[in-house]
Amino acid sequence: MAGPARDTRGIVDAPDLFTRVQFRLREPAPALRPWLEHYWLIDWDLTEPYTSHVVPHPSVHLVLQRHESGSRTERAGFAEVVGIVQGLFSQRLEGRGRVCGVKFRPGGFRPFAPERPVSAWTGQRLPAQEVLAAPEVGAVLDPAEEDARVAALDACLLLLVPPPDPQAERAMALVELVRTDRSLLRVDELARAEGLSARSLQRLFSTYVGVGPKWVILRYRIHEALQRAGTDPETDWAALAADLGYSDQAHLVRDFTATVGVPPTAFAPH
């Protein structure tokens, strides 16, 4: 089964990462796609440590992983739920390892764990069994064939398919609207487009997405700027700032630098 197109948006220096690890995206079973964006699989065998950096999407992830490095070996592996990371997410990779991750659609996680608002998980990394009925780690990580790993994820998550939740569907549709409609630059514009008050929109996002709508709007702007910085050495930053709804180039550079840690010019290809 072919996977979805490789989406590098948010990965800092994706070409460098892909020379060091095997990175694949795979589609979940059709019955899971209303809530799940994709599975992501990474394998590595490194002679030197490497630190990857990602500007995260507004998504919750279920992550199963195993690492082997020198005398330290986590053979059993572990599973965790990773809430939305609001800053830059950095992960040190060394030795050998394998990760299988589940990326939930923004707004799609709460139906699987409805007891608490998704904002309760924001910035948290918790043992998966504390949040939901997670897959058995060995069943997912042991197979050499990635088809078998994907099948194991499907088999477990299909047992957890939640009942319809109109509010989750509404939240997912709103985040998708923010992602695809770059003319929506303000929270009040988004609220009006959905016929909600700004306060009701904030509540919906806190409960189902995990962060506020203003944060989501800003994050997708930064993703666009990061993508441009890494692919177009002739980027007109003043024009891009205007296109993304910033009052001036300096404001875009400040937001980019605060999120990524360095200014946009640091990622321009040479």
* pLDDT tens digits for range 20-63: 999 999 999 999 999 999 999 999 999 999 999 899 999 999 99
Q: What is the mean pLDDT of the chain?
A: 89
The count of other CB atoms within 10 Å of the CB of residue 239 is 10
With cut-offs at 50, 70 and 90, classify the pLDDT of residue 2: very low
What is the predicted pLDDT for the residue at 87? 87
Given this model, what pLDDT does residue 269 score?
A: 53
Alpha carbon distance 28, 109 (integer Å)? 15
Of 158, 182, 216, the one marking the end of a domain is 158
Check whether residue 181 and residue 56 sit in a common domain. Answer: no
Q: Cα separation of 89 and 205, whole Å?
A: 21
Q: Which of 158, 190, 214 is the last residue of a domain?
A: 158
Based on the fold, state whether residues 114 and 244 are members of the same structural domain: no
Q: Classify residue 2: in a domain, yes or no.
A: no
Residues 205 and 242 in one domain: yes
Place 106 in a pLDDT band, splitting at 50, 70 and 90.
very high
Count of C-beta atoms within a 10 Å radius of residue 185: 15
* CA-to-CA separations, 203 to 6, 56, 82, 196, 212, in angstroms, rounded: 33, 22, 21, 11, 8
* 4 in any annotated domain: no
Q: What does the CA dihedral 123, 127, 130, 132 come to, rounded to 10 degrees?
A: 90
Q: Do 30 and 144 lie in a common domain?
A: yes
Tell whether 197 is covered by a domain: yes
Where is pLDDT greater, at 148 or 259? 148
CA gap 267, 270 in Å, rounded: 9
- Which of 131, 158, 185 is the C-terminal boundary of a domain? 158
pLDDT-derived band at 8 (thresholds 50, 70, 90) equals: confident
38 with 117, same domain: the answer is: yes
Q: Which residue has the tokens 């060091």?
A: 20
Domain assignment present for residue 7? The answer is no
Query: Which of 82-91, 118-127, 130-139 reaches the highest mean pLDDT?
Result: 118-127
Where do we find the tokens 């702007």? 221
What CATH number is given to the structural domain containing 226?
1.10.10.60
Query: Are 21 and 138 part of one and the same domain?
Result: yes
CA triple 33-104-68, angle to 5 deg: 115
- Identify the weakest region by mean pLDDT among 1-10, 52-61, 235-244: 1-10
pLDDT at 6 over 70: no
DSSP per-residue letters across 59-101: --EEEEEEEEETTEEEEEEEEEEE----S-EEEEE-SEEEEEE
Give the residue numbers spanning the domain of 202. Answer: 166-267
pLDDT of residue 1: 39
